[in-house]
C-alpha cells in the first residue's frame, strides 16, 4: 500500500519525468497532471535569445502552472492518487536562473502571492540524470528549439534544484540516482520509483539508492 497520494516526479530538462509520471499514473490508476509547455509562444525564441525573452517565458509558465494546479486543489473523488510531472516551485527555480533586476523582483512578488495557495506534494522524486545523458535524451526527442540549449544552462538548472531541495523541509524529497542504475531503461526506473514509494521517508532531502 502506497501512503503517498500526491506524487511529484521532477528532473532536469529531458530527464524523462513526463514519461515516468505517465507510466506511474497508469500503474496506480491515478490522475495525471502534466505541465503544458508546448503552447508557450515565447519558448522557441527564449532558447535563441534568453536575455530578451526570459521574462515572457517565465511569466507565461507561472500563469499556466497556477491556472492548472489551482483547478486541482480539491483533488479528485474518483482517483486515490495524483501524479504530477512538475512542482509549482519550478517557477522560482527557473526564474532565479534567467531573470535579473526589476523583472526578477516583479516575478518573485507574483510568485510568492500565488505560491501561498499551492498544495505541497506528499513526496517529490527527482530523477537525477548525468548532464551527458540529459543532452543525449534532448537530442533524441528532437524538439528543434531545444537542440542548442547550452550545457552550462542545464548544469545551472541542476544546481538550482539542489539548492531548493536542501532548504525544503515540508515533505520528503528523494533523489533517484539513475547514474547508478546499470540496466537503465524506463521499466527499471519504474521499479525503482515503486520501491521508493513503498518506504517511509523523513521530510527533507534523501538519496536512493543510499
SS percent in the chain: helix, strand, coil, step 5: 50, 15, 35
3-state SS class at 152: helix
Cα separation, 15 vs 10, in Å, equals 8
The edge-to-edge listing of strands for the beta sheet with 31-33 is 31-33, 82-84, 6-11, 123-128, 172-177, 204-208
Q: Which helix (H) or strand (E) holds 173?
A: strand 172-177
143 burial class (0-12, 13-18, 19+ CB within 10 angstroms)?
A: middle
pLDDT digits (tens, 9 = 90+) for 77-125: 788 999 999 999 999 999 999 999 999 999 999 999 999 999 899 999 9
3-state SS class at 206: strand
Domain ranges of the chain: 6-208
The mean pLDDT of 27-38, rounded to a whole number, is 91
* Catalytic site includes residue 210: no
Which of the given ranges, 36-45, 110-119, 181-190, has the highest pLDDT on average?
Answer: 110-119
Cα separation, 152 vs 4, in Å, equals 34
pTM of structure = 0.94
130 pLDDT more than 70: yes
Instruction: Name the catalytic one among 85, 122, 200, 210.
Output: 85
Question: Cα 82 to the chain's mean position, in Å?
Answer: 15
Cα separation, 70 vs 102, in Å, equals 27
DSSP secondary structure letter of residue 146: G
73 pLDDT more than 80: no
Cα separation, 59 vs 50, in Å, equals 14
Q: Domain 6-208: give its CATH code.
A: 3.40.50.300
Question: Please, are residues 119 and 6 in contact by the beta-carbon 8 Å criterion?
Answer: yes
Residue 169: predicted pLDDT: 98
At 136, phi and psi to the nearest 5? -60, -45
Question: Please, are residues 46 and 53 in contact by the beta-carbon 8 Å criterion?
Answer: yes
Amino acid at each position: 500500500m502506497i501512503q503517498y497520494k500526491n506524487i511529484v516526479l521532477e528532473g532536469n530538462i529531458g530527464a524523462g519525468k513526463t514519461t515516468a509520471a505517465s507510466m506511474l499514473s497508469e500503474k496506480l490508476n491515478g490522475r495525471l497532471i502534466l505541465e503544458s509547455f508546448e503552447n508557450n509562444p515565447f519558448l522557441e525564441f527564449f532558447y535563441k535569445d534568453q536575455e530578451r525573452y526570459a521574462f515572457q517565458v517565465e511569466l507565461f509558465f507561472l500563469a499556466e502552472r497556477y491556472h492548472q494546479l489551482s483547478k486541482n486543489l480539491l483533488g479528485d473523488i474518483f482517483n486515490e492518487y495524483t501524479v504530477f510531472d512538475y512542482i509549482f516551485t519550478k517557477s522560482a527555480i527557473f526564474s532565479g536562473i534567467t531573470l535579473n533586476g526589476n523583472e526578477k523582483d516583479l516575478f518573485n512578488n507574483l510568485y510568492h502571492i500565488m505560491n501561498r495557495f499551492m498544495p505541497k506534494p506528499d513526496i517529490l522524486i527527482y530523477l537525477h540524470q548525468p548532464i551527458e545523458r540529459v543532452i543525449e535524451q534532448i537530442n533524441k526527442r528532437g524538439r528543434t528549439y531545444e537542440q542548442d540549449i547550452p550545457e552550462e544552462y542545464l548544469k545551472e538548472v541542476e544546481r538550482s534544484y539542489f539548492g531548493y531541495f536542501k532548504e525544503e523541509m515540508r515533505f520528503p524529497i528523494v533523489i533517484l540516482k539513475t547514474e547508478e542504475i546499470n540496466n537503465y531503461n524506463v521499466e527499471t526506473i519504474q521499479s525503482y520509483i515503486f520501491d521508493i514509494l513503498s518506504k517511509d521517508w523523513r521530510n527533507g532531502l534523501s538519496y536512493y539508492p543510499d
